[in-house]
């Protein structure tokens, strides 16, 4: 398959409501349709956009969880086919044994659904979710090779290396970044880490955060799309409100790993020493 040279990606920073599955489905549908109408080919939604994030306990998460045949994934499949787009979003996944995972799905217009389960759990997620054991998938979509992971996973550069080495041109990352203190005028460290992950791999990254206070938790609102040099193409400034980011990615940049006549960001690694 010959992938095209550019890809138009969108991040839809929206505010799901914890526990309101019907509202969140409709919120996601509107977000997907809006981005597709603006020409987006790949549309990224936040982590757990299907369910909301701040669960009271594991039982609440279990009650809100869905399988791949549930109403949210079924809607995303229908929209991906109708609009001929790739949809990436987070959902609370019901597993076989009455357990739940913090998952993300990549849904293609042809009907294929690829699921990733978060492998590095944040704070009380450890009390709720079964941790993922599989590396981030790299999916050869019609728009290029796309990987996915979730939020705190991004704080482990070893994890980001895996899909980059496996050929991903774009990493899509649904996130929910709880806000916290930082020095005035500084870009949030969560966004800085995305930049660095992109640069050391020459891989585009689209991280989609959420907004809207939920049970006392506020969010960075730090959605951003960065290029293969690690600089923002969209979302350079955090925005605690809802926002739609759009960027046209020159995908060939991610296939060129040379950064000088004698340097290649991946072949210069020395794995025997790590």
By the criterion CB under 8 A, which residues form the site for its own copies? 119-127, 133, 135, 152, 155-159, 161-162, 182-183, 186-187, 189, 192-193, 195-197, 199-200, 229-232, 236, 260-263, 265, 268-271, 273-274
As a three-state string, the secondary structure of 163-200 is HHHCCCCEEEEECCCECCCCCCCCCCHHHHHHHHHHHH
Least distance from its own copies to the Cβ atom of residue 80, Å: 29
Which C-beta is closer to its own copies: that of 78 or that of 127?
127
Decide whether 1 or 274 has the Cβ nearer to its own copies: 274
Q: How far is the CB of 194 from its own copies (least distance, A)?
A: 9
Q: How many angstroms separate the Cα of 180 from the Cα of each of 177, 219, 221?
A: 9, 8, 11
Nearer to its own copies, 89 or 132 (CB): 132
Least Å from the CB of residue 21 to its own copies = 27
Question: Rounded to 5 degrees, what are φ and ψ at 61?
Answer: -60, -40
Interstrand relation of 6-13 and 243-250 (parallel, antiparallel or unpaired): antiparallel
Which is nearer to its own copies, 69 or 158 (by Cβ)?
158
Q: How many angstroms separate the most distant Cα atoms in the chain?
A: 56
Q: How far from 11 is each of 31, 33, 155, 156, CA to CA, in Å?
A: 9, 12, 20, 22
Cβ closer to its own copies: 216 or 271? 271
Q: Residue 69 or 261: which CB sits closer to its own copies?
A: 261
Q: Angle at Cα 174 formed by Cα 207 and Cα 271, nearest 5°? A: 70
In the complex, the smallest distance separating the C-beta of residue 167 from its own copies, rounded to whole angstroms, is 18
Smallest distance, its own copies to C-beta of residue 88, A: 21
Radius of gyration of the chain (CA): 17
Beta pairing partners, 105: 89, 115
């Amino acid at each position: 398959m010959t992938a095209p040279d550019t890809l138009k990606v969108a991040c839809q920073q929206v505010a799901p409501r914890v526990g309101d599955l019907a509202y969140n489905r409709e919120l996601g549908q509107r977000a997907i349709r809006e981005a597709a109408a603006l020409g987006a080919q790949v549309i990224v939604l936040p982590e757990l956009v299907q369910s909301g994030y701040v669960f009271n306990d594991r039982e609440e998460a279990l009650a809100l969880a869905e399988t791949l045949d549930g109403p949210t994934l079924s809607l995303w499949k229908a929209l991906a086919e109708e609009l001929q787009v790739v949809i990436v979003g987070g959902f609370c996944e019901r597993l076989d044994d009455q357990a739940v995972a913090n998952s993300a799905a990549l849904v293609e217009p042809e009907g294929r659904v690829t699921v990733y389960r978060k492998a590095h759990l944040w704070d009380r997620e450890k009390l709720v979710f079964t941790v993922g054991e599989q590396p981030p998938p790299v999916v050869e979509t019609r728009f290029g090779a796309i990987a996915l992971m979730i939020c705190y996973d991004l704080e482990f550069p070893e994890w980001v290396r895996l899909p980059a080495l496996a050929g991903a041109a774009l990493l899509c990352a649904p996130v929910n970044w709880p806000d916290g203190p930082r020095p005035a005028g500084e870009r949030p460290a969560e966004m800085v880490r995305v930049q660095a992950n992109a640069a050391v791999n020459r891989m585009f990254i689209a991280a989609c955060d959420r907004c809207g206070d939920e049970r006392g938790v506020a969010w960075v609102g730090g959605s951003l799309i960065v290029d293969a040099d690690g600089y923002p193409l969209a979302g350079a400034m955090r925005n605690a409100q809802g926002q739609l980011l759009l960027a046209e990615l020159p995908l060939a940049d991610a296939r060129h790993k040379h950064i000088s006549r004698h340097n290649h960001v991946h072949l210069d690694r020395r794995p025997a020493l790590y």
